[in-house]
Amino acid sequence: MAELLIELLTEEIPARMQARAAEDLCRLAAQGLAPLMEGAPQGFHGARRIGLVGAMALSAETAAKEERGPRVGAPEQALAGFLRKHGAPREALEEQGGFWVLRRPGETITAEALLHRAIPDMLWSFPWPKSMRWGRSGFHWVRPLQRILVLLDGRAVPVALARGGDDAHGLVADALTEGHRVHAPGAFAVASATDHAARLKDAFVLRDAAARAAVIEQGLGRLAAAERLEVVPDAGLLAEVAGLVEWPVPLLGRIDEGFMDLPAEVLRTSMRVNQRYFALRHPDGRAAARFGMVANIAAPDGGAALLAGNERVLRARLSDARFFWDQDRRQRLEDLLPRLEGVTFHAKLGSQGQRVLRLMRLAGHLAPMLHADRGLAERAALLCKADLASGMVGEFPELQGVMGGHYARQQGEDARVAEAIAQHYRPLGPGDAVPAEPVAMVVALADKLDQLAGFFAVDERPTGSGDPFALRRAGLGVIRIIRENGLRLPLHDALAEAFFGYPQATGAAAAPEFGMAVAAERMKVGAPPEGRHPPMVAAFAAGVADFLMERLRVQLRSEGARHDLVAASIGHDDDITRILARAAALQSLVESETGTNLLAAYKRAQNILRIENKKDGPHTGAVDHSLLVMPQEQALNAALDRADDAVLFALRHEDFAAAMAALAALRGPVDDFFEGTLVNEAGFRHNRLRLLSRLTAAMERVADLSMIEA
């Protein structure tokens, strides 16, 4: 196998695009060079380059093959199109079985020829999110492409980018690369992938993003530790900065003490968003008057001039933040509420001002269920969006909620109200903590349930991989808040209440189509359980709850849990905590020998009933005791009497372990029944089928066992 090295040198690539571009390059190479490529190539990326290293054969023989064309007698245009597609003359066709057949002999594919053919196709069709043209060429790239390196087995392959009369700026691949713009300008030749990485390092370029990130993380960590400080972890910023520099040089700068009374989140956000600086803190969590930055040069003065300039810029940035902080605190959060009428939540769902009223209503409904103070929950819901009209959030949208919490504390609100305002967007991602205080949990759930109900009602649901309104994240947030706090929340009722918060649902502004797309789809699956809400509203709520349950299954699957057991438990409930408890008890049953055999018996009974019900079913109704002539069927019926009472008692008390134990007691009688009884015996068939129907019904009271994977 020969080593293949490809490098595309360009002007600075946005950091957010680099990793995906390297993946796309590897994917396109694996496809375009598939006849000779050995294994998956490994990509690399940086501020000025993307590339890959792989292995490929120098040549290979392809097998002869036949291509069947149109029928004999087909229109001439069809035959001409077939020949044109395969680049073959008519004389190459043979008649076989009423069709024209093109026999193509095997050929030798060489690596160089394949590279000359595949690389231009890869680059001309490269899927950059945004690209540009320059000069007179029609070639597109993310930034002007300056150099192409293609090295095969240590030799340059002069692939020309020109295509179809477009010279593509005259770019032709060679064995040259370039080092750091300042420390090692100019091109130099390399002989292999190892030589490429080593010579780039000598030229002040670390080729691999992971190596640059490690230098940054370890370097800042050492500098911080020397001052008894620590760097605030920020994986996203670390990856971004690693994509901005080729030769990272970590430095520590100072923050003027006059800014240290600003909230730590304001300091961190201003430094991160505007300057890509890393925040530092004391071991006790207090913000430190220091910041970490990463230079792209090794300055002869040790970075003193760079730090002085960056400290000067930071002073200006923090002065702006100080202005917003002081201005915002001159008014109370209530004073900002009228401005929310001019802030659109969504064109079909009204303003943020209207949303605040819905959140208050829903928070008041949820508070008693979660043992939260209703007055405080409604107060927090009223104020939770007010900071959207503040100057600070206008400058730094990332601080929404957080600033509202600070302003609430400043104006003397109850600590629980301030905490709820600050945390109501949480969790923002898989690693983010969920609210744990009852008032905060209520407002966070109200925010997400209102979002889900509204967007589902106007039929703006996630489709495929598209989720423009982050409804999957909202759904997972609801699930995590419930799971991690062990909450008892009937989702159907909560979602129906969220639905009724919208004016399109009731009153003079009611819209007949509001929520009906979801409700109609859900009714096709089956009518939801009867409750205090109208059937179509209940169906809508059940449709949104189905979405949440699917998110729960996805989450459990990612955790390695038995998601089929959760699916078996969902049909009986809309209380996530109870569903999970039921699933845990069910798992302990089905993973035992007794449970395995009992599940097999259930599926056997279900299969018999499915077949027999098609003939003359359904075979439901009371079992006739006078027709129970076999000891085995008498024993099974008696066991079902005992199990029915025990299961119902256990389910009423949510003792799922006891319910499963009651089912487990059926194993012996069920085994004996199938071993000693002929179900379809004349004169007894209908009664025995009713007995099996009673058996499956008893087991399905606990869970939908048909959902369990064997």
**Chain segment 448-465, per-residue pLDDT in tens:** 999 999 999 999 999 887
CB atoms within 10 A of CB 543: 22
At 323, which amino acid appears?
F
At residue 62, does pLDDT exceed 70?
no
Instruction: For the domain covering 2-60+110-202, report its CATH number.
Output: 3.30.70
**Confidence label for 257 from pLDDT (cuts 50, 70 and 90):** very high
Q: Rounded to an integer, what distance in angstroms lies between the CA atom of residue 152 and that of residue 37?
A: 12
The 3-state DSSP class for residue 461 equals: coil
pLDDT at 710: 61
pLDDT of 99-146, one tens digit each? 888 877 767 889 999 999 999 999 999 999 999 999 999 999 999 999
Token output for 659? 């319910």
| Residue 626 CB contacts under 8 Å (≥ 6 apart), including other chains | none
Of 197 and 606, more confident = 197
Question: What average pLDDT score do residues 44-66 get?
Answer: 89
Q: What is the pLDDT of residue 700?
A: 86
> Is the pLDDT confidence value at 555 over 90?
no
Of residues 225, 201, 171, 127, the one with CA closest to residue 10: 171
- CA distance linking residue 404 with residue 383, whole number of Å: 8
Mean pLDDT across the stretch 199-226?
97
Q: Provide the pLDDT for residue 10.
A: 97
pLDDT at 701: 84
Q: Which amino acid is present at 704?
A: D
Contact yes or no for 577/488 (Cβ under 8 A):
yes
Mean pLDDT score, 681-701: 90
466 confidence band (pLDDT: 50, 70, 90): confident
pLDDT tens track for 529-545: 777 888 899 999 999 99
Overall CATH class of domain 590-707: mainly alpha
Write down the pLDDT at residue 67: 82
Percentage of residues in the chain with pLDDT exceeding 90?
71
CA 659 centroid distance within chain: 36
How do strand 350-351 and strand 230-231 relate by DSSP bridges? unpaired
If you average pLDDT over residues 436-458, what whole number do you get? 97
The amino acid at residue 499 is F
Query: Residue 482: helix, strand or coil by DSSP?
Result: helix
d(CA 197, CA 637): 77
What is the widest separation between alpha-carbon atoms in the chain?
Answer: 102
What's residue 561's pLDDT?
Answer: 79
